[in-house]
Every structure is written in structure tokens, then in C-alpha cells.
Amino acid sequence: MKLGFGVTSIVYLLQNIKNHKGAVLKISKHDDYSVYFQNEVQILKKLKKFNILNKFDLFFENIIDSSSSGKFIMFEQRLYKLTEFTLHQSKQLIDVIEYLYKCNIIHRDIRPTNIMVDLFGKHIKLIDFGFAKEFETNEIEKNLLIEGTISYGHLKFLYSFFEEEQDDSLTVTHYKYERTFDLYCAINVIICMTHREFDKKLRSAKRESTDQHGVSKVYNLWLKLKENNENYSELLKLIDNSNGSPYFNIIKDNLEKLEKLKY
């Protein structure tokens, strides 16, 4: 049974006819995407090796088989889509980001469709590590080809595209990704998953943006949200001023303040 598809893959639900156990098969759409599949396997292996506080199985998918050539990955269990976040799930997402941070991994594609939940709805899991990268221990930024999420990125990231819009001879292809990039994205995703009307505005802004990357109105929407909401602005400042060591617990304690926003 087909479960869904993305830019690089098609996902199927499999069932063993002997023991009726299920598995999920993710197949690459094209050979060009093999590098992303191979990268996902390697990143998940590294995350599992760390297994901080035995939480790997709570936060991520467990691979049971994969193709060395990057044609497919088979995962242990089926996950389910989320249409909204509870406060508890929002805090879980910050825990996931903290786990990545401690492992020097940046996901780069934090978005609602990549955050799913297990069968019993107890634990959210982050999926799709094709664009993920590893940082060196003391590395704060990493200049990389822009891949993954754009609309949920923070203001500095979105603003970088305006340089391209203002200068026809300039094409923005790379960005110096901060180790805290995922944390900014997680906060923005939490807002969209707890405020569905704002999420609709974000989708509309992306469609209506006339620039190549569809961010002109997206940037203005996030900027307006920051200017009109002190609690959101303060959370961003916590990340801005963290000097590479975010206050994850303080951020979690302040998520409840995002339940009331002006947009």
C-alpha cells in the first residue's frame, strides 16, 4: 500500500505474510537522489551510535535494511501524520532538536510533513534526513548548498534571498547554516502547527511571492509576527544570544506563551 511520496521518494507499507509484521519501504524516485538516501542512512547510524539517554528509538526511525547504492531504505514501523501539535508534542520537538544539536547534526528540513507520530500517539519522530549534515565539534556555521526547508527558516536566512532579488546578476545558492538553524525552524513549525490560521497565511504567502524562491511575502509575514508578538520575539532572542549553546529547557518552558499570538 502506498503511504505517500515526496520530492525524492515514494513510500510503501509492507506486510510479512508469515508473521503479519509491517515495515515501511522508502524508494528513490531517480538515481540522482541516491546520494540523499545514502546520507540518510549514515546520519541515522551516527544518531543511533550516540543514543543519548537511550532516546534514539523515541525520536527517530529504526532502519532494518537499505540499499548500498541508495535505491531504498526499509524502516521498522509505520508512522502517522500530525495535523496539529499539543504543548507536550511541541516540547518533544525541542527535545529532538536538542538531541541533534548534541550530536553535531543539523537536519535542515524541519517542516510539518517531516514530523510524525508513532502508532499510539505518544512520541513524535523526525524523518527524512537526506539533507542533514554533520558539524565539527567547534564549528558554529557551515557554508552549504541551500537544500531543504525555506519557508520555515528564520529571518536572517530568508533575508539572504532578497540580495538575489535586488541584483539580477546574483544567484543565491549557498548559506552559512548555523548549528541553531533547526531550532529556529522548530519554533516556526510549532507556531504553524498550533495556529492553523497562521499556517494558511504562510502557505498563501508562499504562493503569492513572485521571487524565484517564493520568500518575499513569507519573510514579511514572519517579520510582522515578530514585531507584533513579544513572546515570539523573546524566544528568537534566546536563540540569537545563546552563543552557540541554546537554552533548550528555557525555550521549552516558554512555549506555552506562543498559544496566544497576533497575526
Domain that holds residue 57: 1-78
Say whether both 36 and 103 belong to one domain: no
Q: Indicate whether 89 and 70 sit together in one domain.
A: no
> What's the whole-number mean pLDDT along residues 225-238?
96
Q: Where are the beta strands (DSSP E) in 156-252?
A: 174-178
Domain CATH for 43: 3.30.200.20
The verdict on 60 and 95 lying in the same domain is: no
Closest CA to 112 of 81, 158, 78: 81
Residues 90 and 203 in one domain: yes
The burial class, CB within 10 Å (0-12 / 13-18 / 19+), for 120 is: exposed
Give the count of domains, the chain.
2
Do 168 and 83 lie in one domain? The reply is yes
pLDDT tens for 89-137 read 999 999 999 999 999 999 999 999 999 999 989 999 999 999 999 999 8
Domain containing residue 165: CATH number:
1.10.510.10
pLDDT for the residue numbered 74: 98
Judgement on whether residues 259 and 138 belong to the same structural domain of the protein? yes
pLDDT digits (tens, 9 = 90+) for 236-245: 999 999 887 8
Which of 61, 78, 95 is at the close of a domain?
78
The dihedral through the CA atoms of 237, 240, 242, 245 has a sign that is positive
Same domain flag for 72 and 97: no
Q: How far apart are CA 76 and CA 56, in angstroms?
A: 13
Q: What is residue 157's predicted lDDT score, i.e. its pLDDT?
A: 96
Asked if 224 and 94 sit in the same domain, the reply is yes
Q: How confident is the model at residue 169 (pLDDT cuts 50, 70, 90)?
A: low
pTM here is 0.94
Q: How far apart are CA 137 and CA 135, in angstroms?
A: 6
Task: Please tell me whether residues 69 and 90 are part of one structural domain.
Answer: no
**Whole-number percent of the chain with pLDDT over 70:** 95
Q: SS3 of 10, please?
A: strand
Mean pLDDT, the chain, whole residue set: 93
Structure-model confidence comparison of residues 183 and 262, the more confident one: 183
pLDDT at 84 over 70: yes
Judgement on whether residues 172 and 64 belong to the same structural domain of the protein:
no
> What confidence tier does 168 reach under pLDDT thresholds 50, 70, 90?
low
Which segment of 157-161, 183-187, 229-233 scores lowest on mean pLDDT? 157-161
Based on the domain organization, do 188 and 108 belong to the same domain?
A: yes
Q: Which residue, 78, 113, 131, sits at the end of a domain?
A: 78
In a shared domain, residues 73 and 83: no
Boundary (domain end) residue, out of 78, 102, 131: 78
